[in-house]
Structure 1
Amino acid sequence: MAYEELADAIMKDVGGKDNVNSVVHCTTRLRFKLKDESIAKEADLKALDGVVTVVKSGGQFQVVIGNQVAEVYNTMVKRAGLPDAGEVPDENNATSAAAAQMSLLDRFIDLISSIFTPALGLLASTGMIKGFTAMFVALGWLVPTAGTYVILNAIGDAFFYFLPVLLGYSAARKFALDPFIGMAIGAVLVYPSLVALAPINVASGTPPLMTVFAGTFLATPVYATFLGIPVLMMNYTASVVPVIISVWLASRLKGWLDRRIPTVVRTFLVPFFTLLIIAPLTLLLVGPVVSWLSEAVSAAVIGLYSLAPVLAGAALGAVWQVLVIFGLHWGLVPVGVMNVANHGADPVLALIGSASFAQIGVVLAVILRTKNQKLKGLGWSAFISGIFGVTEPAIYGVTLPRKRTFVLSCIAAGAGGGVMGLMGSQFYMMGGLGVFQFPSMVNPKGVDAGFTGALLACALSFVLGFALTMFLAKKTDIDPVAAPADAQTLAAATTGTASAEAKADASATAVASELLKAPLDGTAVALSTVKDEVFASESMGQGIAIEPTGHEIFAPADATVVLVFPTKHAIGLHTDRGADILIHIGMDTVALEGKYFETLVQQGDHVTAGQLLTTFDPAAIKAAGYAVTTPIIITNTGSYTNVTGLQAGPVTHGDALLALDK
């Protein structure tokens, strides 16, 4: 589907432009804030070619696209006339009302993701540059005094060093403040003269004017005052929380000033008073207090990790992908950034480094085991994305829908996390994901056991995820047989009278090419035209549908009857050549509770091609308000390379209808 077509379809299914408060995108997802989520057509969105899935989390309606999300986003913004990521959303209307209805956790996750999402790409890329630079030094390819090193280190370090300026921008957008005011507040925090004030005085031996909180762990020398008030100088370079709190205060102050300053002078007097009040307040109070609190949080997190690093690694590695699904992983991002800023390294986010390798190990095994060509194509795309740490296509497109494979990936990720905890792996800078995370894990002092442990952990997770899926996952876990709401038992019964699991396993492999005959008279139509999403989307399997002109259902091949519904409206067959077939008479006709249907065979009977199976009364069913469109579904479609419809238009029972190619 072209970007224009997909963008238009998504905008239509989320309720149109008028239902969108704002939209941004991250690595793989469009993150909508909708005025009314009930208007959005979630099922239709999931069915779009180009949409992996839909997730509702953190107060956001998230449409998972995959690697092409930026192109879809840009196309959608342009065609729908939406404000792009550089424009300030109107937080004073329905967005604020929607936020007020969110839970405290959802509001926190929304806050963190909204502020950090615009910066993550650059944070990762510059971290990779700095990581590679450190690796080159460790390998002896560069020396720290070389001009090449100085320039590369500056490119890699500048973004992180001036992070308060950049977070000031994104925080201002989130809080509906002029982004340049947010940037100005961040710039004050990293202004060179202020940053160097304490170090210069310490280096020169200048005695402090005073020491506040002397004799406690908060003891801080004072080298400057503001209007006679001691300024507790902290190092705010690479800090996260102080600028966010200050920008939020500035947004509140701006709203108060807007109501009191005349419009004619508001343009320059509002930022004048905002900066004049908030910047000193940040340096005098907000900055020191928040810095102490953030250092305490960092120390507490690292302290807990130190108690049982292997257990912490196994637990966090195992649940990380679950956190990603619900968007809760955002809560740990600031902790990792604070740890790097306060302690020079972060062991927490490092523990999840093996999760993407566990995913791609499982995905590779699924690719090798599945016979579904569409799944193979999706799997290779997800595998390549996962190498670089983008796992949403693997999670939503491959492992999560199969449940057991997702659990196996979590087990493999937990094992890798445990190894990382054991070996003391850490991030020494915020960098890339997947294979690009390794440069960020090189100790500036040289390659150590933590780096080696990271390599071993990721290799272990990949191999373990692959092996578990190859040898422990059942065939039906790889190519599951789906069923509509009124046919939940079909998947377990489609192969005759043996045990359900044994039959399902056999049906996935013991198939041969086959030609199926039409089971009734009528008009053959494409499955996509059926007015039932389960059938039309082919989520249950490929096949064809017939608009009946007759009233009898005949066997399409020699087969065993594996399921006869008590309501008689559907019958399941397992052919002698291995095909699993569901013939479903009408739409929602389960509600008739067997009225107007008569079944002439029983479960376990062996029937021959053309044998009468069921009769029904099309006129009475229609009079009761139900469609009689009859899908003929191959529920083990994944066992075939092709399922081809041979008829379109009038068809008589016994005519060639479907070709199944092994």
Structure 2
Amino acid sequence: MASSVKQTSEFILDKVGGAENIVSLTHCATRLRFQLADQSKADQTALDNNPDVLGVVPQGSTGLQVVMGGAVANYYQELQKLTGGETKKAASGKKEYGGARGKYSWIDYGFEVLSDTFRPILWALLGASLIITMLVLADTFGWQDFRAEQQPPTYQFMHAMWNSVFYFLPIMVGATAARKLGANEWVGAAIPAALMTPQFIAMKELPETVVTQAANGADVYKVTVFGLPMVLNDYGGQVFPPLLAAIGLYWVEKLFKKIIPQSVHMVFVPFFSLLIMIPLTAFLLGPFGIYTGVGISNMLSAINNFSPLILAIVVPLLYPFLVPLGLHWPLNVIMIQNIATLGYDFIQGPMGAWNFACFGVVTGVLILSIKERNATMRQVSMGGMMAGLLGGISEPSLYGVLLRFRRSYLALLPGCAIGGFIIGLFDVKAKAFVFTSLLTFPAMEPMGGYLIGIAVAFFTSMALVIVMDYRTKEEKAEVLERLAAESAAVESESAQEDATTAAAPAAAGAAAAGGVATATKPVKTALEPGALTQITAPLEGKAVPLSEVPDPIFAGGKLGKGVAIVPSGTEVVAPADATVLTVQKSGHAVGLRLDSGVDLLVHVGIDTVQLNGEGYTVHVDKKQHVKAGEKLISFDPDFIESQGYNLITPVLVTNTPKFADVEGTAVDHADANSVVITTRAKDA
């Protein structure tokens, strides 16, 4: 495993243009996030074709996201070793910016700050959410009261285990937000920490403190500090105050770095930053942040109170478009805010409909991939499904399937809408902040209504993928053609190994008898060093360069070099003695291993797999040995063209890499006597 991670990391480093092209590198739950000096140096196609890479997403003109799934941290650590942890950004001292700047770039950057502030904390939040789930289950079974102030010692300790993340979340947010903005992360952490110390909290008990009642009946504590009134808020679990403090810190640090000599920056910049920012946060930014969060929460709560059904449908329909842009993180802030102020949240339940519709899509893809023997998509969809169902993480599914095959949204959105509708009918609320996975459903209330909603979302989207597919007609045909060619290549290798194995005993027996060894299979003359082999046309028609095929896979020679034939006849015949390696049930393609050692694929028409065999008749079986000129396939060109398909027929040497050269020859009127392909074997 370690070796695989290292090899893949070296591959990624090479394909992004090397260490010298990396300005900065971070990672989130599933993605490596590169900022590149020159995005054009990154070979995105090569990265996307690597089986360990779930997807590649360019961001703006310099950013590149490489989706690796749940093991992303392993690849990040290996890349840090390979680059020595040094990037161009480290010396720049500038704040990071990895998104696409639009007309209002400050809005884009604002959302990115929110997104990148929470990504580094994601692991801690995920771990804590599962501990919460365990305690909610204990509450469900009556073993303890989840919200009781006094708990038995064991449960008291377990509550401390998850509360360590959520209570001290402002300190973590202060650090990550400051780092994102370009300020000192430890000073960013110290500012909210000052408002969570025992000394600050104890100010509520001072005789000078005035206690009044807010409109909602809550106690408001005020005390005079430096001759000014200060509201003593509870900052545990708050996120807006440390975000605002980090923004203020960035400007304060920037100011003092200009006016203080560089030789004493380390002493006086943090001194003045703390001296200014802690009071500013306590008097102004902290209360403003709390009131902002409460205000947004109240607005969404009002919509929810007006119609939980409307909110429950809108939220899951928005998420498929918010997550790719990183715009879902502000809603996570509101969820945490709701838990802190209301004691419950009304967004997480509907969000579960989006997540499980997403996981239903990739499960449908997994089923189709197993059926098609598509190893690449099977791996991608399996990873996405497991990360989703067990971790509540949607990025592997999103970047591995949904954004690569946009048709999949046709299966996703109905699942989101129907699942959200059912969750809205039950008015599902979350009792704690959790990531919506199969393991965290006990945090939802009513639990049964939530389970029905996510099950409907999951199975609706899964069924739609199986029925409608997740690819366009052209995308599916392209994949099936590639798989057929790969299958032919595998069969070719297997046939060659079988021939070698069968020949060895015969040769040994003949030698032992004092005779001449004779192989049971023909000698592979085409592969003998320097050998030239000529292949005649397997069907009548006009032979043209492969580049004229209106399909980039064939035209680009990705399945092998060769020639294309515009047929004038109606039959495909064996151009030489050969073994049938593969023949499609649909009759549109046949793979041969010529006795000379050339592997040949004859593909009658483009995208004709969609005809499901109509217009074709197959005359041979797999593994059958055929003679030159023997009929392999018959086809009806009039019917095929009447269905809108192009009959141009690629004739490919699928084991092209074994030869020094494979050259196609254009012939106006090719027949069984016309040489259309010439191969030259590699020199010894």
Question: TM-score normalized by structure 2?
Answer: 0.69
Question: Is 1:557 the equivalent of 2:572?
Answer: yes
* Structure 1 letter corresponding to 2:175: Y
SS at match of 1:27: coil
**Identity level (%):** 25
CA distance in 2, matches of 1:580, 1:209: 89
Question: Is 1:14 the equivalent of 2:29?
Answer: no
Give the deviation of 1:573 after TM superposition. Answer: 8.3
Q: Deviations over 1:196-245 (max 9, x none)?
A: 433x46xxxx685486xx99789985542211111111111100011111
Give the deviation of 1:21 after TM superposition. Answer: 2.5
Give the deviation of 1:307 after TM superposition. Answer: 2.0
Q: 1:127 to 1:91 in 2, by over 3 A?
A: farther
* Structure 1 letter corresponding to 2:105: S
Q: 1:148 maps to what in 2?
A: 154
Q: Deviations over 1:116-156 (max 9, x none)?
A: 00101101211221231132023123465311100000001
Q: 2:561 maps to what in 1?
A: 545
CA distance in 2, matches of 1:332, 1:148: 33
Superposed, 1:516-531 pairs within 5 Å as 520=537
Superposed, 1:188-199 pairs within 5 Å as 188-198=194-204
CA distance in 2, matches of 1:535, 1:303: 53
For the 8 Å contact 1:13–1:40, the answer to whether it is kept is yes
Q: Deviations over 1:245-266 (max 9, x none)?
A: 1122122212222233334443
Superposed, 1:321-340 pairs within 5 Å as 321-340=320-339
Unaligned regions of 5+ residues in structure 1, if any?
Answer: 442-447, 484-490, 495-506, 508-513, 522-528, 563-569, 582-600, 608-612, 615-629, 634-642, 658-662
For the 8 Å contact 2:59–2:98, the answer to whether it is kept is no
SS at match of 2:271: helix
For the 8 Å contact 1:57–1:327, the answer to whether it is kept is no
Q: 1:372 maps to what in 2?
A: 373
* Structure 2 letter corresponding to 1:173: R
* Structure 1 letter corresponding to 2:452: L
Please identify, of 60-69 and 362-371, the stretch whose mean Cα deviation from structure 2 is larger.
362-371
SS at match of 1:480: helix
Question: Is 1:457 the equivalent of 2:463?
Answer: no
Q: Deviations over 1:460-494 (max 9, x none)?
A: 112222333344559976971139xxxxxxx9xx9
For the 8 Å contact 1:91–1:175, the answer to whether it is kept is no
CA distance in 1, matches of 2:536, 2:337: 67
* Structure 2 letter corresponding to 1:79: L
Question: Is 1:279 the equivalent of 2:252?
Answer: no
Q: Deviations over 1:585-621 (max 9, x none)?
A: xxxxxxxxxxxxxxxx9962789xxxxx99xxxxxxx
CA distance in 2, matches of 1:80, 1:471: 46
Q: 1:302 maps to what in 2?
A: 301
Match of 1:604 among 638, 645, 649: 638
SS at match of 1:365: helix
For the 8 Å contact 1:21–1:34, the answer to whether it is kept is yes
The alignment's C-alpha RMSD in Å is: 4.6
Q: 1:176 maps to what in 2?
A: 182
CA distance in 1, matches of 2:410, 2:202: 51
CA distance in 2, matches of 1:322, 1:190: 37
Give the deviation of 1:276 after TM superposition. Answer: 1.2
Question: TM-score normalized by structure 1?
Answer: 0.71
For the 8 Å contact 1:520–1:552, the answer to whether it is kept is no
For the 8 Å contact 2:23–2:89, the answer to whether it is kept is no
Q: Deviations over 1:294-340 (max 9, x none)?
A: 21111112112322221221222133223223332223222222222
Q: 2:57 maps to what in 1?
A: 55
CA distance in 2, matches of 1:90, 1:310: 51
Match of 2:441 among 433, 438, 441: 438
Q: 1:477 to 1:430 in 2, by over 3 A?
A: farther
CA distance in 1, matches of 2:555, 2:425: 43
Unaligned regions of 5+ residues in structure 2, if any?
Answer: 485-490, 493-533, 539-545, 574-585, 590-603, 617-634, 642-646, 665-670, 678-684
Give the deviation of 1:275 after TM superposition. Answer: 0.8
* Structure 2 letter corresponding to 1:28: T
CA distance in 2, matches of 1:354, 1:656: 57
* Structure 2 letter corresponding to 1:604: D
Give the deviation of 1:420 after TM superposition. Answer: 1.8
Superposed, 1:176-325 pairs within 5 Å as 176-198=182-204, 200=205, 208-209=209-210, 221-325=220-324
Question: Is 1:393 the equivalent of 2:381?
Answer: no
* Structure 2 letter corresponding to 1:557: V
For the 8 Å contact 1:561–1:571, the answer to whether it is kept is yes
Q: 1:110 to 1:89 in 2, by over 3 A?
A: farther
Whose Rg is larger? 2
Q: 1:414 maps to what in 2?
A: 417
SS at match of 2:192: helix
For the 8 Å contact 1:317–1:415, the answer to whether it is kept is no
Q: Deviations over 1:175-206 (max 9, x none)?
A: 222222112112112112323433x46xxxx6
* Structure 2 letter corresponding to 1:317: P
CA distance in 2, matches of 1:580, 1:93: 64
Q: 1:337 to 1:222 in 2, by over 3 A?
A: closer
For the 8 Å contact 1:402–1:478, the answer to whether it is kept is no
Q: 2:170 maps to what in 1?
A: 164
CA distance in 1, matches of 2:224, 2:92: 37
Q: 1:118 to 1:475 in 2, by over 3 A?
A: closer
* Structure 2 letter corresponding to 1:463: F
CA distance in 2, matches of 1:317, 1:357: 10
For the 8 Å contact 2:59–2:99, the answer to whether it is kept is no
The alignment of Structure 1 onto Structure 2 pairs a total of residues equal to 549
Give the deviation of 1:165 after TM superposition. Answer: 1.0
Match of 1:466 among 455, 462, 482: 462
Q: 2:75 maps to what in 1?
A: 72
Q: 1:347 to 1:196 in 2, by over 3 A?
A: farther
* Structure 2 letter corresponding to 1:373: N
CA distance in 2, matches of 1:332, 1:580: 55
Q: 2:623 maps to what in 1?
A: none
SS at match of 1:22: strand
SS at match of 1:436: coil
CA distance in 2, matches of 1:90, 1:62: 22
Q: 1:497 maps to what in 2?
A: none
CA distance in 1, matches of 2:99, 2:327: 19
SS at match of 1:231: strand
Q: 1:660 maps to what in 2?
A: none
SS at match of 1:177: coil
CA distance in 2, matches of 1:430, 1:534: 49
* Structure 1 letter corresponding to 2:80: V
CA distance in 1, matches of 2:552, 2:52: 19
SS at match of 2:231: coil
For the 8 Å contact 1:351–1:421, the answer to whether it is kept is yes
